[in-house]
Structure 1
Amino acid sequence: MTTGRDILPKPLVRALSERSDARGAWLVLHAWAVIAGAAAVAAIWPNPVTVVLAIMVIGSRQMGLAILMHDAAHGALFRTKALNETVGTWACAYPVFADMAAYRHYHLKHHRYTQQPEDPDLVLSKPFPVTRTSFWRKAVRDLTGQTAFKQRAAQVRMTLDAQKNADETTGAVQAFGTPSLWGPLAVNAGLFAALALSGYWWVYLAFWIVPLATWYQFVLRIRNIAEHAMVPDDDDPFRNARTTHANLLERVFFAPYWVNYHVDHHLYMYVPCWQLPRLHKALGEAGMHARMETKPGYLAVLRMATSRATAPA
């Protein structure tokens, strides 16, 4: 079977796979700066527009932290291994109640068995398409915090139970979760303490917990659908994942840090996220775009994902 590694010249692949400590640090700082800036604007000029936009922007950048954790789990966020492990865990994973070590173990299995029966992510893509009613029922649960509450409750049970249920552990990691809350609780306690000492304890609740419990969950659902649901060929590495072309608004609210280039990532999983547009261009110059599964935007994906006329019997 032809793969991307058979198409692109090795010197180009080596160049695209180069890591950068400076670029990795910039991406992490960028995510946190956007979060801080959005929270500050909404706190200084509170009104329905600034508050809702802040929740959406912050939730998207919280997803951005999870994406940067994903890059660190691949050893691709930083050139230095210690930075991948330390920054990926403490600055990216723990703040959003994720665990990079647990995620890496599960996620590499997803890469090894993409869309095959052994793929731990198959449960996320297999149910689609669904009816519009079914989709929006799930979206409402995401946007009202019900999904987040269910996930945190499962994490609490796993944290307190030394004999963790394997199914629950897998489910938590699929959602960028963690089988143990001690690390995330420590980091979040630090965030709350820092804001409380500065007199803005409520900012942690309004502009960290609320986005994490609402918009982040919705974006995570959209991302899971876009990446593997309803792909045309489970056995073709160019067509068992999907690259979604994202416009500026989609990149701001749904697809931070080039997460939309998912076929490209699966073909070359050690290419850093910031190199994925160059990788996509190189694959096009090699004549591979026509073979790749792509969609023109997230609305096109959602229309396909909600195309079932009636619920299954």
Structure 2
Amino acid sequence: MHSIPVIKPSDIGNRGLWIAFIVLGCWGGSLWFLLHYPLHFNDPLVYLFVLVQMHLYTGVFITAHDAIHGVVSPRYKSLNYWIGFISASLFAFNNFKTLSSKHHLHHKHAATPDDPDYHDGHPHFFLWFIAFAKEYISIGQIVLMAITYNILKLWFPWENLVVFWMIPAVLSTFQLFYFGTYLPHRGEHHNPPLNARSQSLNHLKAFLSCYFFGYHLEHHAYPYLPWWQLPKAREKVEQAMQG
């Protein structure tokens, strides 16, 4: 295997903050609009809106993920933490500290028995997903989601809550797992200690599939890069592979 090129961390400045605010703002604004949207299942826009909201949910989690790596706001660590905490909480009440601890273990022990995200490289998607879900979903989260649902339905139609709040969150979980864990880490690896692979070089596909998180080799090689800098890293790695 070709060596991975060295990519120095760049000065993110306040761009990470602005991008995080845009993602969270789009998610919140879209959800507010959709909770008021007249829901009719013969309306094709409903299904498009579900996919859009799924993608925005994924962006919320990716924001929490970047905060785990300290790259939402490298200059202001307290602000970085709180954006990560809020983003993780908005994504089905995930515990930011727990996510952070397990994700750093994932990077340290990628695709090994000590990796909390790994399921022995099991080729069966759903068996691996069940093991993954058991690792990250708690009874407390389910209780908080149920309480929130029963409070929100006092103001919003329950059908809208299910279709535009709950279903996109579930679909986003599958999206994140498939593109961010299953595809990059399944099977045998020949690049320890990274033990990760990337999807093919196609920035549009990579963004739509999972905010460039499918460029997973690059993420493990350069965890100090925010999601929006992974395309450049992927290009440099591709050039090195062909050189």
- TM-score (norm: length of structure 1): 0.62
Matched with 1:242 is 197
Matched with 1:49 is 44
In the aligned structure 1, how far is the partner of 2:90 from the partner of 2:228? 22
* 1:97–1:181 CA contact under 8 A, matched in 2: yes
Matched with 1:207 is 164
Matched with 2:186 is 229
In the aligned structure 2, how far is the partner of 1:33 from the partner of 1:278? 30
* 1:41–1:50 CA contact under 8 A, matched in 2: no
Matched with 1:301 is none
Label 1:23 to 1:51 Cα distance change in 2 as closer, same or farther (>3 A): closer
By how many angstroms is 1:95 displaced?
A: 3.4
Matched with 2:70 is 75
Label 1:250 to 1:50 Cα distance change in 2 as closer, same or farther (>3 A): farther
1:99 has 2:95 as partner: yes
Label 1:98 to 1:171 Cα distance change in 2 as closer, same or farther (>3 A): same
Label 1:277 to 1:192 Cα distance change in 2 as closer, same or farther (>3 A): farther
Secondary structure of the residue aligned to 1:71 is helix
Q: Any idea what the Cα deviations from partners look like across 1:74-117, whole Å, max 9, x if unmatched?
A: 11122322222222222343432322110111110111112233
Matched with 2:176 is 220
By how many angstroms is 1:46 displaced?
A: 4.8
Matched with 2:134 is 171
Q: Any idea what the Cα deviations from partners look like across 1:170-227, whole Å, max 9, x if unmatched?
A: 8332xxx357439x827x7567646643x545422221112323x2343234222222
Label 1:179 to 1:274 Cα distance change in 2 as closer, same or farther (>3 A): farther
* 1:231–1:241 CA contact under 8 A, matched in 2: no
* 1:227–1:243 CA contact under 8 A, matched in 2: yes
* 2:102–2:116 CA contact under 8 A, matched in 1: yes
* 1:169–1:178 CA contact under 8 A, matched in 2: no
Label 1:190 to 1:115 Cα distance change in 2 as closer, same or farther (>3 A): closer
In the aligned structure 1, how far is the partner of 2:240 from the partner of 2:182? 23
1:7 has 2:6 as partner: yes
CA root-mean-square deviation:
3.6
Q: Identity percentage over the alignment?
A: 21
Secondary structure of the residue aligned to 1:270 is coil
In the aligned structure 2, how far is the partner of 1:107 from the partner of 1:181? 18
The total of aligned residue pairs comes to 238
In the aligned structure 2, how far is the partner of 1:227 from the partner of 1:40? 35
Matched with 1:181 is 141
* 1:192–1:204 CA contact under 8 A, matched in 2: no
- TM-score (norm: length of structure 2): 0.77
Label 1:249 to 1:270 Cα distance change in 2 as closer, same or farther (>3 A): closer
In the aligned structure 1, how far is the partner of 2:218 from the partner of 2:59? 18
Q: Any idea what the Cα deviations from partners look like across 1:14-33, whole Å, max 9, x if unmatched?
A: 31665632232223223334
In the aligned structure 2, how far is the partner of 1:211 from the partner of 1:170? 16
* 2:68–2:100 CA contact under 8 A, matched in 1: yes
In the aligned structure 1, how far is the partner of 2:77 from the partner of 2:30? 26
* 1:89–1:99 CA contact under 8 A, matched in 2: yes
Label 1:275 to 1:116 Cα distance change in 2 as closer, same or farther (>3 A): same
Match of 2:217 among 263, 266, 273: 263
Larger radius of gyration: 1
In the aligned structure 2, how far is the partner of 1:270 from the partner of 1:28? 21
Secondary structure of the residue aligned to 1:264 is helix
Match of 1:108 among 104, 107, 123: 104
Matched with 1:272 is 226
* 2:23–2:59 CA contact under 8 A, matched in 1: no
Secondary structure of the residue aligned to 2:91 is helix
Q: Any idea what the Cα deviations from partners look like across 1:232-270, whole Å, max 9, x if unmatched?
A: 415253xx2122145646643x32x22122111101112
Unaligned runs of 5+ in 1: 142-146, 152-167, 292-313
Q: Any idea what the Cα deviations from partners look like across 1:101-156, whole Å, max 9, x if unmatched?
A: 10111110111112233222221x6112x5xxxx5xx4xx9xxxxx8xxx8xxxxx
In the aligned structure 2, how far is the partner of 1:55 from the partner of 1:106? 29
